[in-house]
C-alpha cells in the first residue's frame, strides 16, 4: 500500500473511531502507532512512537500549561469571581441589559486568570445567572451570555489552547498570547453591544440596574485588583521579555496564592486548606488530560509526515483556481462543522498538521491564523449538538432547559462571526501587539 493511500485511510479510521466514542488521544495514538509500524517496521516504528510521546510532553514550552491552569483554579477557590462580577455590575449595570453586560466583562476579566472556557462558564453560572433571574432577565439571555462569555478564555491570555496551537505549529508562545489579547477584548465589546442592542429593542429581556452610586463603583475596584495584577504580570512580562510565558504563569499563580492567603487571614473568607489541595488535584488532572491528547495526536502527526499527505494537500490547495480568501473561508467552515462534534484541543491537533502547511503556502501569517482558528473553536464551544459550554451551564443550572441555553447563544454566535470577519479584514488588529513585542525585545 502506498503512503498516500495509507494516510487517507488513517484519517478515515480516526474520524470513525471518534464518532463511535473513542477518545481523540487514544484514537490518534493507536492509528499513529499502527501506521508507523506499517511504514517503518516494528522496531523502528515502535521506537519512533515512544520517542515522539516523550519528547512532546517534555518540551519546555508546555510547562506553561500547568501554571496557567493552576492560576485558574486558585482564582476560583480564592473567590475572585464574585469580586469581578460586583465590580462589573457597579460600572456597567446602568446600561440596557446591564447585568448581562456586566457578566460579559466579568467573564472576560476572569478569563484573564482562568484560561479555561468551561471553568469560566461553570463559575458564572453560579455567580451571575441567579442575580439576572432575580432581576427578571430572560433565562435564555442569562444562560446564553454565560455560555458565550466563557469562550473568551480561549483567546484572552493565559489561554491553554493558544499554547497548544503554538506547540503544534512551532510558533512563539509569547507571540500567540499577546496576539489573543486585543481580539479577546474586541469579542467582549461585540458581545456587550449585542446585549445592549437587544435589550434596547426589547427591554423585557433585561432591564438596567438603578440606584448605583459612584461610591459603590469605586469601592468595587479592589475586587478586580488581583485580576488586574495578573493581567499586568502576564502581558507585561511577555511584552518586555523580562519573563518567559512559563515564568509569568508561575509568578501569576504565586500572586493569586498569596492574595488568597491574605484574604483568608484578614477577612476570614476565601480559599481554605482543602480548597488549595483541591485546586492542585484539579490542576494535575486537567494537565494530564491535555498532555495525553498531545502525545497521542503527535504520534499520529509523525506518522502523517511520513506519508507525505500534508505536503500533497498543501500543494493541492495552493494550485486551486480560486482566490486564497475563498480557500480560507472554506477551511473555517470545516472548523465550524468539526467544532459541533469535537473538543477544541483535539480538533486543532488533528487538523493543523494538514491545514497549517497549506495556510503558510497561501501566504497567511501563522500567528494571525491561530487567532482566527481559536475564534472558530469558540464558536464550536457553544454550537449544538456538543456545545460543551452549553452543557456546563445546563449542568450547573438544570432548571434552565438545554434547549433554552442553545437558543440563547445564537446572537453571540452571530457576534463571533462578525468578529471573525472583522479580524480577517483588518489583520493588523491581531498582529499589532506581537509585532510591538518583537520590536521591543529586539530593540
Can you give the pLDDT at residue 215? Answer: 87
170 φ, ψ to 5°? 60, 45
- Report, in angstroms and rounded to the nearest whole number, the Rg of the chain calculated over CA atoms: 22
Q: What's the total number of domains in the chain?
A: 1
Q: What pLDDT band is residue 267 in, cutting at 50, 70 and 90?
A: low
Q: Provide the mean pLDDT of the chain.
A: 84
Determine contact, residues 343/152, Cβ cutoff 8 Å.
no
Determine contact, residues 163/248, Cβ cutoff 8 Å.
no
Q: Is the pLDDT of residue 263 over 80?
A: no
The whole domain housing 154 covers: 3-442
Q: What is the largest CA-CA distance in the chain?
A: 74
| Mean pLDDT of the region 132-136 | 91
Can you give the pLDDT at residue 387? Answer: 77
Can you give the pLDDT at residue 441? Answer: 67
| Mean pLDDT of the region 261-266 | 77
Rounded distance, CA 222 to CA 265, Å? 17
- What is the model's pTM? 0.83
328-332, 336-340, 365-369, 421-425, range with the lowest pLDDT: 336-340
pLDDT digit string, tens, across residues 8-19: 888 888 878 877
Q: What pLDDT band is residue 245 in, cutting at 50, 70 and 90?
A: confident
Question: Based on the number of CB atoms within 10 Å of its own CB, is 323 exposed (0-12), middle (13-18) or buried (19 or more)?
Answer: exposed
% of the chain with per-residue pLDDT over 70: 95
Can you give the pLDDT at residue 442? Answer: 62
pLDDT digit string, tens, across residues 171-203: 888 889 889 999 999 999 999 999 999 999 999
| Mean pLDDT of the region 372-390 | 82
Can you give the pLDDT at residue 348? Answer: 82
Q: Is the pLDDT of residue 55 over 90?
A: no
Amino acid at each position: 500500500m502506498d503512503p498516500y493511500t495509507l494516510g487517507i485511510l488513517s484519517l478515515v479510521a480516526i474520524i470513525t473511531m471518534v464518532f463511535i466514542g473513542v477518545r481523540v488521544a487514544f484514537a490518534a495514538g493507536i492509528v499513529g502507532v499502527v501506521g508507523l509500524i506499517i511504514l517503518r517496521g516494528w522496531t523502528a516504528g515502535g521506537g519512533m512512537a515512544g520517542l515522539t510521546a516523550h519528547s512532546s510532553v517534555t518540551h519546555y514550552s508546555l510547562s506553561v500549561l500547568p501554571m496557567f491552569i493552576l492560576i485558574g483554579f486558585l482564582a476560583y477557590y480564592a473567590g475572585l469571581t464574585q469580586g469581578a462580577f460586583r465590580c462589573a455590575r457597579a460600572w456597567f449595570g446602568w446600561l440596557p441589559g446591564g447585568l448581562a453586560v456586566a457578566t460579559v466583562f466579568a467573564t472576560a476579566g476572569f478569563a484573564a486568570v482562568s484560561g479555561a472556557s468551561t471553568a469560566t462558564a461553570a463559575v458564572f453560572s453560579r455567580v451571575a445567572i441567579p442575580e439576572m433571574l432575580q432581576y427578571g432577565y430572560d433565562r435564555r439571555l442569562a444562560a446564553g451570555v454565560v455560555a458565550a462569555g466563557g469562550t473568551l478564555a480561549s483567546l484572552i491570555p493565559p489561554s491553554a489552547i493558544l499554547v497548544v496551537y503554538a506547540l503544534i505549529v512551532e510558533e512563539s508562545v509569547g507571540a500567540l498570547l499577546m496576539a489573543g489579547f486585543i481580539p479577546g477584548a474586541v469579542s467582549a465589546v461585540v458581545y456587550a453591544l449585542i446585549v445592549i442592542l437587544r435589550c434596547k429593542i426589547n427591554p423585557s429581556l433585561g432591564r438596567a440596574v438603578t440606584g448605583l452610586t459612584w461610591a459603590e463603583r469605586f469601592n468595587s475596584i479592589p475586587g478586580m485588583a488581583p485580576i488586574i495584577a495578573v493581567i499586568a504580570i502576564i502581558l507585561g512580562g511577555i511584552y518586555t521579555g523580562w519573563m518567559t510565558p512559563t515564568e509569568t504563569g508561575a509568578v501569576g499563580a504565586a500572586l493569586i496564592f498569596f492574595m488568597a492567603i491574605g484574604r483568608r487571614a484578614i477577612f476570614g473568607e476565601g480559599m481554605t486548606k482543602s480548597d488549595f489541595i483541591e485546586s492542585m488535584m484539579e490542576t494535575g488532572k486537567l494537565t494530564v488530560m491535555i498532555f495525553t491528547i498531545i502525545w497521542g495526536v503527535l504520534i499520529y502527526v509523525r506518522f502523517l509526515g511520513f506519508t507525505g499527505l500534508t505536503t500533497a494537500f498543501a500543494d493541492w490547495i495552493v494550485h486551486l483556481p480560486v482566490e486564497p480568501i475563498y480557500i480560507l473561508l472554506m477551511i473555517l467552515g470545516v472548523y465550524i462543522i468539526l467544532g459541533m462534534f469535537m473538543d477544541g484541543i483535539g480538533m486543532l491537533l488533528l487538523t493543523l498538521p494538514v491545514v497549517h502547511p497549506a495556510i503558510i503556502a497561501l501566504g497567511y501569517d501563522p500567528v494571525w491564523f491561530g487567532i482566527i482558528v481559536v475564534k472558530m473553536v469558540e464558536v464550536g464551544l457553544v454550537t449544538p449538538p456538543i456545545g460543551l459550554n452549553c452543557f456546563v451551564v445546563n449542568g450547573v443550572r438544570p432548571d434552565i432547559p438545554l434547549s433554552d441555553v442553545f437558543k440563547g447563544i445564537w446572537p453571540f454566535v452571530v457576534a463571533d462571526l462578525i468578529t471573525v470577519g472583522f479580524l480577517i479584514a483588518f489583520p493588523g488588529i491581531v498582529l499589532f501587539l506581537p509585532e510591538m513585542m518583537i520590536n521591543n525585545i529586539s530593540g
